[in-house]
Structure 1
Amino acid sequence: MVEQVGIAVLGCGYWGVNYVRVFNEIPETRVVVACDQRPERVREIAQRYPGVAVTTDVAEALATPGVDAVVVCTEATSHHRVARECLRAGKHVLVEKPIATTGEDAGDLIAAAAARKLTLMVGHTFLYNAGVQRVKEYIDRRELGRIYYLYARRTNLGPIRRDVNALWDLAPHDISIFNYFMGTAPLWVSAVGSRALRNGREDVGFIVLGYPDNVLGQIHVSWADPHKVREVVVVGSDKRIVFNDLQTMEQVRVFEKGVAPLMQNGEGYSGDQLVVRDGDIISPSIQPREPLKTLASHFADCVIHGRRPLTDGDAGRDVVRVLEAVDKSMAMRGTPVELVSTEESLYVYPAESASHPLR
């Protein structure tokens, strides 16, 4: 147990620089060293943060005195190799999404962290967003009635990655959100993709996820759409909730409208007779927080107090398994792929958690 966590940030690209900033701003942590293979990025970090040591060598960063934990913010295909090296060095690890590019590699990291009693956390940042948390509260209180389906859109013109396709780059956000809302991973996956930009990998994709109780989730991602969208919608029998990450004033909107089959004497449904509910549209007040800073504080709290992260290795592995099934389904032109769901392999998000970062 430590009072202040010393952080090493590996990978100082666009997102890695943000990690350097937030871990420098919260009182529970201090950034000891930043590492990037590009000398120009190292020089930029040194100029912006003169109190932070810099290096282009991972081994040197891990050997820097005072480093307790590491943020792995390298390319996705290197996450397993780099994170495992950090765990072997006895460091707690926060790895950006996806935790790895195969379920087997994700399991290897989980086992390595458990063997050394180290914290392993995945950077599924949207689960630390106050708007997403508010939607989750509505779901946990069962205010939506029966959930019918969910859908998400995540589109923009790029940025185009060199190491993974658009589905591996963008869909982890929405898969993790859907799993969190539903409290479990999907039972099956169907997906199709297109290489519209002809750059050797899918830049457009459509994913359908089948959850228990016949709940469907649909995700559309694209690097080729000039209209930027960051939206998640949950449709229930009593209410419909919209989370729009690009809307600062009304990030969450609750439509108190719904439809459900008519019950007969409280014993069963009466065929095709429906009850339509029509009400107000509400925009609940949400206290603004920077999700990445909330995530960083939660990571520090888990390291200091030995708590289980909300987005731990098991949650990260479930997302990777979905993405593996996405690849298999795309190769078969959308044929559904079943996921193995056992107590050992299927992570279940708790509806209430003592270690929850926003409760």
Structure 2
Amino acid sequence: MAKTNLLPPTSGAAATIARPVASPVASPGDTRQTPRTAPLGIGVVGAGYWGPKLIRNFQASADACVRGVCDRDPARLASVGQGDPTIGLHTELEGLLDDPSIEAIAIATPVDTHFELAKRVLMSGRHVLIEKPIAASIEEAETLVALAEERGLTLLVDHTFLYHPAVEKMKELLDDGTLGAPLHFDSVRINLGLFQPDINVLWDLAPHDLSILSWLMPEPPVSVSATGASHWGKGTASVAYLSLAYPGNFIAHVHVSWLAPVKVRSVILSGTKRMMIYDDNQVLEKVKVYDRGIAESSAESSTESGSRDDEHRHRVDYRMGDMHAPHIAGDEALAKEVADFVRCVRTGETPRSNGQTALAVVRILEKAQESLMQGGAPVAV
């Protein structure tokens, strides 16, 4: 996906195209004392691919109001202004930081700009919603998480799938015991493109599935191994396969690719009682739960005169039950994420997709990158 190539300014006053028309409210540091009847003042950095989606969802919320947008591309800013002339338009971050009506800032820019932008916003006393991944390294992610915690600020990282009704159903089926103990997670996230100029396919697509795993599993993986190849560009991996080993013999595989003829977004989660498939390309039955599995028979069920293969077959029972497709709500995940962000800013609660979750994802990504460079050797997480 194309993103805004916005870097933090080094000096000088912010260039402003249009000033916000909204009246100032409480200072950024007083957001949790702001009356709940007052919409949360939002600034958005980046008006490329994802920024307008954030703007749309914040503007659709009765509890938030976009006061300003920052982007260095005048054409993109003009498009935002045409959609809503009340939004202040700026070409530098200072335009948002100088506006006291802006209490929280959403960052939708390339990964290599995340750390500096988010750090400056947090240092200004404002809450942050930032596109995934949170940063380009474990060290940067740890710094941002610590800074938000020290200053008592909300930090939500845009792992949108954690708010997807189908993923919520997946967690429900796992937590209530419907699936039994988890055995295996297998995800495929492939398409033709979109090639990213600043990151490889691992950092672009795998965060979705790694964030889901981090939410589903009570413990982090023990190790990760990754293999991949570059078929286009300057050594940037366009196809990658990850294997993650967890405590308790649970294993996960993640396949990501920019070189597939069709778009596939699927997850298989197998448990000791049931198995499920989540196919995001399906319109009606995104989640299917299968009453299927295997069970080891008692040793007495084998025949003494049978062959080794016969004995093996007799020791394993295959359960072939019914398939059930539970109802999945049609709520937009990003709208739910925005609502969670606003609620947590007001209450001080921790969002579902929080800094610690994002840090866990970056930790796996960095270790997977190490494994990739070592030809797939397992790396401890």
**Which residue identity lines up with residue 51 of structure 1 in the other structure?**
T
Q: Report what 1:63 is aligned to.
A: 98
Corresponding position: 1:159 with 2:194: yes
- SS of the equivalent of 1:257 reads strand
Q: Report what 1:261 is aligned to.
A: 296
- SS of the equivalent of 1:110 reads helix
Q: Report what 1:279 is aligned to.
A: 321
Corresponding position: 1:188 with 2:211: no
Aligned residue among 340, 343, 358 for 1:301: 343
Give the distance between the partners of 1:47 and 1:255, measured in 2 at CA: 49
8 Å contact from structure 2 (residues 215, 357) kept in 1: no
Q: Report what 1:168 is aligned to.
A: 203
8 Å contact from structure 1 (residues 166, 222) kept in 2: yes
Q: Percent identity?
A: 37
**Which residue identity lines up with residue 157 of structure 1 in the other structure?**
L
Q: Report what 2:108 is aligned to.
A: 73
Structure label with greater radius of gyration: 2
- Segments of 5+ residues of structure 2 without an aligned counterpart are 1-31, 300-310
**Which residue identity lines up with residue 16 of structure 1 in the other structure?**
G
User: In structure 2, do the counterparts of structure 1 residues 275 and 146 end up closer, same or farther at CA, with 3 Å as the change threshold?
Assistant: farther
8 Å contact from structure 1 (residues 149, 215) kept in 2: yes
Give the distance between the partners of 1:183 and 1:245, measured in 2 at CA: 24
8 Å contact from structure 1 (residues 191, 208) kept in 2: yes
8 Å contact from structure 1 (residues 151, 219) kept in 2: yes
Q: Report what 1:291 is aligned to.
A: 333
**Which residue identity lines up with residue 256 of structure 2 in the other structure?**
V
Q: CA deviation at 1:63?
A: 1.4
Q: Report what 1:326 is aligned to.
A: 368
Task: Summarize the alignment of residues 79-228 of structure 1 with structure 2, pairs less than 5 Å apart.
Answer: 79-228=114-263
Give the distance between the partners of 1:72 and 1:115, measured in 2 at CA: 20
Q: CA deviation at 1:311?
A: 1.2
Q: CA deviation at 1:263?
A: 6.6
- 1:87-131 deviation per Cα after TM superposition (whole angstroms, max 9, x unaligned): 001100011100011111111001111111101111100010000
- Segments of 5+ residues of structure 1 without an aligned counterpart are 265-269, 340-359
- SS of the equivalent of 2:82 reads helix
Q: Report what 1:39 is aligned to.
A: 74
Task: Summarize the alignment of residues 209-248 of structure 1 with structure 2, pairs less than 5 Å apart.
Answer: 209-248=244-283
Q: TM-score, normalised by structure 2?
A: 0.85
Q: CA deviation at 1:238?
A: 1.9
Moved more, 322-331 or 276-285: 276-285
Q: CA deviation at 1:289?
A: 0.3
